Structure 1
Amino acid sequence: MQPVRKAIIPVAGLGTRFLPATKAVPKEMLTVVDRPVVQHVVDEARAAGIEHFVFVTGRNKGPIEDHFDMAYELEATLRERGKTAEYDALMADLPAAGATSFTRQQAPLGLGHAVWCARDIVGNEPFAVILPDMLSRGCMTQMLAAYGRHGGNIIAVEEVPEDETHKYGIVAVDEAFRDDEAGRTYRITGMVEKPPQGEAPSNLIISGRYILQPEIFDLLADQGPGAGNEIQLTDAMKRLAESQDFFAMRYDGRTFDTGSKLGYLVANLAYGLEDETLGPQLRAEIKSLLEG
């Protein structure tokens, strides 16, 4: 079983739901407390042991590449002013030389196409896909543990109310096969992207974290448009599932969808409340607002 060393992070989206904030700033650079959303997902992946990050970008995404690079003037200024804690924090977040790659998705043709754009950088080895809109602390660590037990392909899933299943990719699972150690991993028996309301095979949604085998790239190369007239990763995974094992891992935690305004606000509240310094003050401010 080959280890999972690389993660694809698709960051080419326009972020239209957050205009005008995203007119000149990539949506992935919007902050949750004091860290860009994309930094949070890189933190999650690094904590799980991922070594190389492949960012699939588009036009006007230069600030993302700059964020993961040296900032000589800023670093020199921090040192000169004795701001040791701030300087050390920047250095701790900086990826090692050669640990990041950037490739362009030249047209918005869907998630499947974005993943395919990274094929030459990933090569012939298993890899992770992490959607930066979805903040799921610890999810990749849980997935790599499941991968170590089962191999194959792993998809993180979560439950949603039945009346929301038409908004997501949905998996059908074999309840008879359940992971003995954690009890949260199931064999997948079917997948569908945004099924019509009332026709979903379950209420388990694909929640933005994947571990996939490299054979998916050959399937994506000739994958036709699907839902939304885009090249859907789910459609290629369904084809790959005809010859390889797919497992659904129920994430033990809460995912915050920062691609929606409400999810973004809730993420800021949740992360802020957990901060040792900000938490007590934020809790008091929230109480004051609610009482006022």
Structure 2
Amino acid sequence: MKPIRKAVFPVAGLGTRFLPATKAIPKEMLPVVDKPLIQYAVDEAREAGIEQMIFVTGRGKSAIEDHFDIAYELEATMSARGKDMSALEGTQLGPGNCAYVRQQEPLGLGHAIWCARDIVGDEPFAIFLPDEFMHGRPGCMKQMVDAYRGIGGNMISVLEVPKEKVSSYGVIAPGRTHGSLTEVTGLVEKPRVEDAPSNLIVSGRYILQPEVMRVLETQEAGAGGEIQLTDAMARMIGNQPFHAHVFDGERFDCGSKTGYLKANLALALERPDMKDTVRAFAADLLN
């Protein structure tokens, strides 16, 4: 069984739900407390033993590349002034640890993943959707990689949502359950509530075999007129093992404004340097 060495981060989206904040700044660079969303995702990948980060970018996304590059002037100035450099730990990716590829047209998540096919090659790989903020220890991908070592195949992270919300997500048809793993017998992208096979939704973390790239080559547009990754995965079910992993932790939908605010508040309340102040402020505000 080949190890998971590579991860794809589809970050070419326009972030229109956060305008005007994202007019000049990628949504993936929006901070949760003091670290951008994309940094949390990369840290999660590193914890899982992933070595190469592949960013599928678009126009206006150069801030992501800058973030993971050397910032000589900043680092030299901080060092000369005796400033604490620990805040910059983990913000550099060397040439062998990252790659950038452009998605030139907004044709959907499936198309974005397909754009990374030459770099992924003939290896299983992980996918991270950075605005799906998965918070826990160990991280979501570490939990998935540990499970993958014992079972192989394809794996997706899922979580339960109220039935009335399933039409906004990819939804699995569940089979047998083994601990945190559930067999996936089918996948539907954004079904009507009455047609949804369950209330278990795909939650932004994937481990896929390289054959998905061949499937995406011929995948037609689906929901929303876009090439959906969910549709391509559904075509693979029955040909390869496919499991869903229920994440032991919290998930914040930072693609929505309320989810983003919840993530900031939750993490601030865990920080020793600010939790008392934030808690007192929140109590005053509510009163």
- For normalisation by structure 1, the TM-score amounts to 0.95
What is the root-mean-square deviation in Å for CA atoms of aligned residues? 0.9
**Further displaced range: 92-101 or 161-170:** 92-101
CA contact (8 A) 1:10 1:56 kept: yes
Write the deviation string for residues 127-175 of structure 1: whole angstroms up to 9, x where unpaired.
000001101131101110110111000010000001111111000111x
Match of 1:257 in 2: 253
Per-residue deviation at 1:99? 0.5
CA contact (8 A) 1:58 1:104 kept: yes
CA contact (8 A) 2:7 2:50 kept: yes
Residue 101 of structure 1 aligns to a residue in which SS?
Answer: strand
Amino acid at match of 2:285: L
Amino acid at match of 1:143: M
Amino acid at match of 1:118: A
Per-residue deviation at 1:199? 1.1
Match of 2:239 among 230, 233, 243: 243
Per-residue deviation at 1:197? 2.0
- Structure 1 alignment gaps of length 5 or more: none
Match of 1:219 in 2: 215
Residue 171 of structure 1 aligns to a residue in which SS?
Answer: strand
Equivalents in 2 of 1:92, 1:158: separation in Å? 29
Residue 82 of structure 2 aligns to a residue in which SS?
Answer: coil
Match of 1:127 among 112, 125, 128: 125
Match of 1:279 in 2: 275
Q: How does 1:1-292 map to 2 (within 5 A)?
A: 1-83=1-83, 85=84, 87-137=85-135, 138-174=139-175, 177-179=176-178, 183-291=179-287
Question: How many residues are matched?
Answer: 284
Equivalents in 1 of 2:177, 2:22: separation in Å? 42
Amino acid at match of 2:193: Q
Write the deviation string for residues 94-144 of structure 1: whole angstroms up to 9, x where unpaired.
223420110000000000000000000111000000001101131101110
Equivalents in 2 of 1:88, 1:37: separation in Å? 18
- Structure 2 alignment gaps of length 5 or more: none
Equivalents in 2 of 1:3, 1:71: separation in Å? 32
Residue 145 of structure 1 aligns to a residue in which SS?
Answer: helix
Runs of 4+ in 1 over 4 A off after TM superposition: none
Equivalents in 1 of 2:89, 2:173: separation in Å? 43
Equivalents in 1 of 2:194, 2:142: separation in Å? 33
CA contact (8 A) 1:57 1:105 kept: yes
Per-residue deviation at 1:50? 1.0
CA contact (8 A) 1:163 1:198 kept: no
CA contact (8 A) 2:67 2:91 kept: no
CA contact (8 A) 2:69 2:91 kept: no
Q: Give % identity.
A: 58
Equivalents in 2 of 1:184, 1:91: separation in Å? 33
Equivalents in 2 of 1:282, 1:51: separation in Å? 36
Equivalents in 1 of 2:26, 2:72: separation in Å? 22
CA contact (8 A) 1:10 1:55 kept: yes
Per-residue deviation at 1:91? 3.8
Equivalents in 2 of 1:100, 1:281: separation in Å? 38
- For normalisation by structure 2, the TM-score amounts to 0.97
Write the deviation string for residues 200-258 of structure 1: whole angstroms up to 9, x where unpaired.
00000000000000000011011100000000001110111131110011111111011
